[in-house]
Amino acid sequence: MRCSINAALFAVFTSLTLLACASSALPQFKPNRSDQDLNAIGHRNIGGNVNFFSREKELALGKQLAQEVERSSKMIDDPVVSEYLNRLAQNIAKNSDAKLPVNVRIIDSNEINAFTLPGGYQYANRGLILATNSEAELAGALAYGIAHTALRTGTRQSTKGALMQLSSIPAMVFAPYGWASSSMYQRLNLAIPLTFLKFSREAVSAADFYAVQYLYQAGYDAEAYPQLLERALQQPPKSQNIPKTA
């Protein structure tokens, strides 16, 4: 039974990979046998070992960046909506590999965007929430961000940048297929280099893979996530004035 479940989830991940290939020719994440073991969720060190940031430093960094985002954005503070969203997020987090606490807040914007900062700080636009057709799809969007928290993508990419003698600290962008635009960060006046606003295809693909696992483990239909992404691909870009990176 467990083998058939793994095969089914891998088939969902394959559909995500096909979606990704439609928008990128870059290398994809290739999960190994351990990555596919659902029984190991919560006991895996998928965040890797090469990271200049301890978890404590990552939490402090995330808090600092979160304060900057919330100073620069119009937030939605409806207690009922916030409680519902965080209840979904905590259910997924406890069925994930994340070793950092997860905090989710809503930005009052119509754009279908979301992003996750280091330290587990996750922001979803009102437009993304309204674009979902079911709780499972919304949970899938949250699972993707939680996967990046588990992978510690932001600080790992910052570490790679430091190793290449780059000194900037990135935020993590929920933009696997062009959902989030760099113009969003320009409006927030965030001092984040454009070169760090777009994850490597491998990092995005890894987050896709683990998001599907977490979604299933939390009791949702894993196919809801690629369905949401497929619809998002059909959305026209909100802005044509996005600066190009080298």
State pLDDT tens for residues 97-144. Answer: 999 999 999 999 998 888 888 899 999 999 999 999 999 999 999 999
Residue 58 has pLDDT above 70, yes or no: yes
The pLDDT value recorded for residue 1 is 53
Asked if 13 and 208 touch (Cβ cutoff 8 Å), the reply is yes
Q: In the predicted model, what is the mean pLDDT of residues 32-60? A: 88
Q: What is the pTM of this model?
A: 0.78
Residue 208 has pLDDT above 80, yes or no: yes
Q: In the predicted model, what is the mean pLDDT of residues 66-78? A: 90
φ, ψ of residue 238 to 5 degrees: the values are: -75, -25
Helices (H), 94-191: 126-131, 135-151, 153-163, 182-187
Q: Would you state the structure tokens that stand for residue 184, as one six-digit string?
A: 């969003």
Query: Which of 166-170, 176-180, 223-227 has maximum average pLDDT?
Result: 223-227
pLDDT band of 26, cuts 50, 70, 90: very low
- Axis-axis angle for helices 153-163, 55-72 (nearest 10): 100
The pLDDT value recorded for residue 143 is 96
The pLDDT value recorded for residue 215 is 96
Mean model confidence pLDDT for the chain: 77
Q: In the predicted model, what is the mean pLDDT of residues 46-56? A: 87
Residue 183 has pLDDT above 70, yes or no: no
> Percentage of the chain with pLDDT > 70?
67
Residue 179 has pLDDT above 50, yes or no: no
Taking the C-alpha atoms of residue 121 and residue 59, their distance in angstroms, rounded to an integer, is: 9
Residue 17 has pLDDT above 70, yes or no: no
* DSSP β-bridge partners for residue 116: 122, 172
What residue segments make up the domains of the chain, in order of their start? 2-233
φ, ψ of residue 26 to 5 degrees: the values are: -80, 160
